[in-house]
Amino acid sequence: MWLEDSSGKTLHSKLLNTLTADIKEGRLTPGSMLPGSRVLAEQLGVNRKTVQQVYEELEAQGWLVTRSRSGTFVSEILPEQGLSTSDHYLVNSTDRTKSASELVEILYQEARGSYNDIPIMNDGTPDSRLIPYELLARTYRRVCVDLSRQSKLGYGDPKGSIELRKSIAKMLSGDRFMNCSAEQVCVVRGSQMGIYLASRILDPGKGAIVMEDLCYLPARAAFESNGFKVLKCRLDDKGLDIEHLREILAEHSVAAIYVTPHHQYPTTVCMHMSRRLVLLELSKTYKFAVLEDDYDHEFHYETNPIPPLASLPNSENVVHIGSMSKVFAPGLRLGYMAADAQFIERAAQEIVLIDRQGNAVSELVLSNLMESGEVRRHIRKTRKEYEARRNFAAEEFVRFFGDKVSFKLPTGGMAIWVNISKLVNGKVLEQLPGKDSTLSTAYNDDQIIPTHLRFGFGALSKAEITQSVEQLSKALLVSE
């Protein structure tokens, strides 16, 4: 089998189309056994995860079956058997849609995992068990009753409810020192939607988008899907490498730079204040936008959080993107963008095309909770819990690994960036046991040998942290 001449733009689609065609043409007969995912990946020179996802997709379509402890086989009863000629056309016609990128396909398969009993990766998610469900339920009921009495459950402002935008503007002004009004805030369905909207508004013809060397892949996928070339800028222990950024700006036209300065994703490093100020000066000199993803500002443990880029001098080009998902739960799906009024107006115009408006009930519920002080009280309570879990996770890594691993205790967030290079010692590791650790190779296409792992402690109790770290130690210390 080879993929060079196969139809499709990505390795995923090429392999999918090749296997499907071979089954249809009889080269792979019903009941025949396929190579294991590891073997086939090595033969084709592709990532094993790509092969696994193709096998899973073909199984869902009915072309393959997996038998426990036996392997993967071509289905005895193929999905096309018994179809009429016209139905064959409907099944086989593939020219009506454009292909997604390989990265988008991977992210989509991971997102579907929760519906297929596949563990979702925990790389710093909050603990849904800490959600104040009773408080949420009472507030939802009260808001729904009030809205129905006032007949206000119709369409509203695409920017989001004015009540929530005022509450967010007050929070950003009071807690993050941003000079922000409600007209400079747009409510979105989480930070990912804010990132996507920002890249829709920016013009790909005016340059590339710069991202940190190790980065948030869904953001990269959003930028690439909107026509941008992504350039990588190096990182060090003080965050974004400003000198490398200067080199990039001297050689390339740049439309924007995407950064996670508060707790860099995935390394957890906090960008040094001096670099923040230089970055903002460069944004004005070279006229590029700064997309600031402030995804977990509330959870900072050591001292008061460093003010966001949007609160500093020369921040006119900053688009501040945040989320309330980590405060309560990802399922709440509420985030926000804060920028100049013209940029927010363009965001609202894009929202009209895809969403019209968000969830008015949830927006008013959150506004109620913010105005009553419940959100602030909940953050104070959970911040102490997450800090205790961070400290305990650090102690467990020392207890199980000793000096074979190293890490810098993060000042905030819900994950620890652990150096495992001594244990890996140049060996290729494809995956780790469990769902609480992610290899550094997952955040950079060019890295083959992992050097670090990101361990998410936020969603775990102390007993679960011990169990997860112990499981890691058994896998890594054995392979040493």
Tokens of 345: 């107006």
Cα–Cα distance for residue pair 373/381, rounded to 1 Å: 13
What is the structure's pLDDT at 57? 87
Do the beta carbons of residue 255 and residue 202 sit within 8 Å? yes
- Encoded tokens for 366: 């959150």
The pair of structure tokens assigned to 184 is 């400079």
List, for residues 72-117, the tens digit of each pLDDT value: 998 887 776 555 555 555 555 555 566 777 777 777 776 665 444 4
Task: Report the DSSP pairing between strands 289-293 and 318-323.
Answer: parallel
* Terminal alpha carbon distance of the chain: 35
Give the Cα separation of 294 and 424 in Å (integer): 32
pLDDT truncated to tens, each residue of the chain (480 aa)?
A: 666 666 666 788 888 888 888 888 888 888 889 898 888 888 888 888 888 888 988 888 888 988 877 889 988 877 765 555 555 555 555 555 667 777 777 777 766 654 444 445 778 888 889 988 899 899 999 998 888 777 666 677 899 999 999 999 999 998 889 999 999 999 998 899 999 999 999 999 999 999 999 999 999 999 999 999 999 999 999 999 999 999 999 999 999 999 999 999 999 999 999 999 999 999 999 999 999 999 888 888 877 778 899 999 999 999 999 998 777 666 778 999 999 999 999 999 999 988 877 788 889 999 999 999 999 999 999 999 999 999 999 999 999 999 999 999 999 999 999 999 999 887 777 778 888 999 998 898 777 889 999 999 999 999 999 999 999 999 898 755
The rounded distance, in Å, linking the Cα atoms of 161 and 397 is 45
H-run or E-run covering 232? strand 230-233
Is residue 296 within 8 A of residue 264, CB to CB? The reply is no
* pLDDT for residue 116: 44
226-279 pLDDT tens trace: 999 999 999 999 999 999 999 999 999 999 999 999 999 999 999 999 999 999
Q: List Cα–Cα distances, 378 to 135, 177, 384, 385, 411, in angstroms.
A: 11, 21, 10, 11, 20
Structural Rg of the chain based on CA atoms? 24
Structure confidence at residue 101 (pLDDT): 77
Q: How far apart, in whole angstroms, are the C-alpha atoms of residue 53 and residue 363? A: 36
